[in-house]
């Protein structure tokens, strides 16, 4: 599953779904809203382009690291501290491929997927610039 959505997901079910014949390792990345003077986080995406880019990254990771499965769920909307933002679940025959594939995916999401985060902080809101973003940091 590759999707951008407002709803949270059942990570346990996703892990179970990733298990298939030959799977020897599953790596789970769960990015959450941290309590770092943040009240909430607001995420926006250019959904059509972002989804296509996530699919491209997943396809490339599968080929490069011989992955059996890749699931990426990126949430948008207003999220509270402790909520899931980004879930990546990678299944492979061996741990090395699973770890390396997962890292490849997260690094490429940070570099090139049009998703923007606004931290709603106790001492003032701010846009967080990812590696792929440009400008003053005030808006996407």
pLDDT the model gives residue 38: 86
DSSP 40-96: EEEEEE-HHHHHHHHHHHHHHHHHHHTEEEEEEEEE-EEEETT-EEEEEEEEESSHH
At residue 114, the pLDDT reads 93
Decide: residue 106, CB within 10 A, 0-12 exposed, 13-18 middle, 19+ buried.
middle
Range in 17-21, 45-49, 81-85, 124-128 the model is least confident about: 124-128
Domains of the chain: 2-128 (3.90.1170.40)
User: Residue 128: pLDDT band by 50, 70, 90 thresholds?
Assistant: confident
Percent of the chain with pLDDT over 90: 76
What was the pLDDT predicted at 130? 56
Query: Would you say residue 19 has pLDDT above 60?
Result: yes
């Amino acid at each position: 599953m590759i999707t951008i959505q407002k709803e949270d997901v059942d990570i346990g079910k996703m892990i179970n779904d990733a298990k298939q014949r030959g799977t020897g390792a599953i790596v789970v990345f769960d990015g959450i809203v941290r309590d770092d003077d943040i009240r909430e986080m607001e995420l926006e995406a250019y959904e059509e382009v972002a989804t296509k880019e996530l699919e491209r990254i997943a396809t490339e990771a599968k080929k490069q690291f011989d992955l059996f499965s890749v699931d990426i769920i990126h949430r948008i909307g207003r999220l509270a501290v402790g909520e899931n933002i980004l879930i990546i679940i990678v299944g492979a025959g061996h741990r090395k491929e699973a770890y390396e594939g997962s890292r490849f995916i997260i690094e490429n999401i940070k570099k090139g997927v049009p998703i923007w985060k606004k931290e709603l902080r106790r001492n003032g809101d701010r846009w967080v610039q990812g590696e792929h973003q440009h400008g003053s940091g005030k808006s996407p």
